[in-house]
Amino acid sequence: MDGMKEMLLRGEWPTMPPLGFDIVRLNNQRKIIVNEKGKFIRKAFHWKLEGLTNEAIRQRLAQYGLKVRHQHITDIFRNPFYCGLMTHNMLEGKIVVGNQELLISKEIFLKVNGILNIRAHGYKLKEEDEAIPLKRFLHCDNCGKPMRGYMAKRKKIYYYKCSTPGCCNNKNANSLNTLFEKILTYFDLSACDTLVPLLKKQMTATFNQLTKDKEDDSQQLKARLETVKQKIERLEERFIEEELNPELYKKYLDKYQSEKKEIELELMKATGKKSNLEECIDFTIHFALKASSLWRSGDYYIKQRIQNLVFPEGISYNRKMDACRTSRINIFFYHIARLAQISGNKKSGKTELKFDFAAPVVWAGIEPATQGFSVLCSTD
């Protein structure tokens, strides 16, 4: 026990490190380094700063092959080991700077835990509450920070609020929820269903245009995958021939296996996009017809998924104008809203949703999105 305490005081972690780290020996010295899982955990900290919920982060990690329990996500975000600090019962409350490799900076750790630990006088925060599904999805139009959701204890009324001191940007949650529900009705094509075949052609053409420069991706990914497989085979041969010790073998095997999974995931996306395009378009149009009612009746997670599907970067709220805006929308829903407006489904005049249809279209990863136009939404 005394030996372990001395190690801790020297900044050396005496037992197995948390998820995301490996113990290796380099030049006869014990080192704790970030492994491939740690790189995904690093991404998780950044996703948290972007406003994603713990459940959304957990699901995203699972897509990368890293399965983590919901409670464990919270434990990870609160563990100072990831920013180079160590706490332990043997240290009797002391915080020691560790010798382990930094996974994130102290600044990022403090920002994430500032989000987790907000407890302001007069209102109560709840991590997941169906009354405030737009929290963190909403951004302050003044400072750009995600808006929090809380319930005023005395009034027992929910609000959205920017946590930046001096912004004073807050709004009744029920009012903004109702507005967002109304925005989703602008994707309802029931009044112009005769134009749906034309819409399908336009969406297919747009998708093909966006992906024409990526047709060789699958071939490149296959080549990369074959290279990684060869590296794994060579690694196993060297281990069998005793050219590598078990620690180095495990280190590089984990690295190559993680790289292999990532390439296979990208290859699956690249080869599956065009094969299920027609099915995806049909689903999107069918979904758009009842997006508003699905959002209204859905639980917290359903609402989150619908919001992020339609508006991948969220929406911002301006208190002075009492209006919302966004500069990005899923391209399929962009075409649906465009058709609904120009076909006369939405009457001219003051509306909750206004597009500049001259916007350029760009590729934005897995979710194609349009960018460079404004969407104005008023609660009036």
Give the model confidence (pLDDT) of 300-346 as tens digits.
878 888 888 888 888 888 888 888 887 778 887 888 877 777 766 45
| Residue type present at position 245 | N
Residue 43 has a CB neighbour count (10 Å cut-off) of 15
What's the pLDDT score for residue 238? 86
Q: Which tokens hold the place of 340? A: 């609904």
Look at residue 369 and give its three-state secondary structure: strand
Which of the four pLDDT bands, split at 50, 70 and 90, describes residue 213? low
Q: Which tokens hold the place of 350? A: 């003051």
Helix, strand, coil proportions of the chain in percent (round to 5)? 50, 15, 30
Of 237, 293, 298, 225, the C-alpha closest to 262 is: 225
What's the pLDDT score for residue 368? 44
What's the pLDDT score for residue 251? 85
Q: Which tokens hold the place of 171? A: 């709004």
Of 324, 320, 329, 317, the C-alpha closest to 147 is: 317
Q: Which of 16-20, 166-170, 227-231 has the lowest mean pLDDT?
A: 166-170
Please say whether the beta carbons of 368 and 331 come within 8 A: yes
